[in-house]
Amino acid sequence: QVQLVQSGGDLVQPGGSLRLSCAASGSILSINAMGWYRQAPGKEREMVAVITTISITNYADSVKGRFTISRDNAKNTVYLQMNSLKPEDTAVYYCNARVVTNDYKRLEVWGQGTLVTVSS
């Protein structure tokens, strides 16, 4: 069993910053790509940022230059630093990890979601 536990969502004013964290735990042999996705009300879930095991990153155009994804492989944790937040960044943010378990199963695991609200 593998779990992703998220933290860091909050209400923030436009132009503000937030940092999201997501820690993986359980029967983990290795973690491949990790990422952050978001879903705004009435919209489909979309990719925000992803990072590989060797820290190659990819960002949605809407967040480039404002958001930074990083990971700590020793802690099985991925972070999302969000700066210059805009009201349109308001969404539930989900972390995602592609995991190989100790019994060699490949799983795609999602965090529980955390609400980020950008509003004055």
pLDDT, one tens digit per residue, over 52-87 is 999 999 999 999 999 999 999 999 999 999 999 999
How far, in Å, CA of 89 to CA of 87, rounded?
5
Q: Which three-class secondary structure state does DSSP give residue 74?
A: helix
Question: Is it the case that residue 9 has pLDDT exceeding 90?
Answer: no
Q: Tokens representing 44?
A: 């489909």
Quickly tell me which residue has 């940022």 as its tokens.
Answer: 49
H helix runs in the chain, sequence order: none
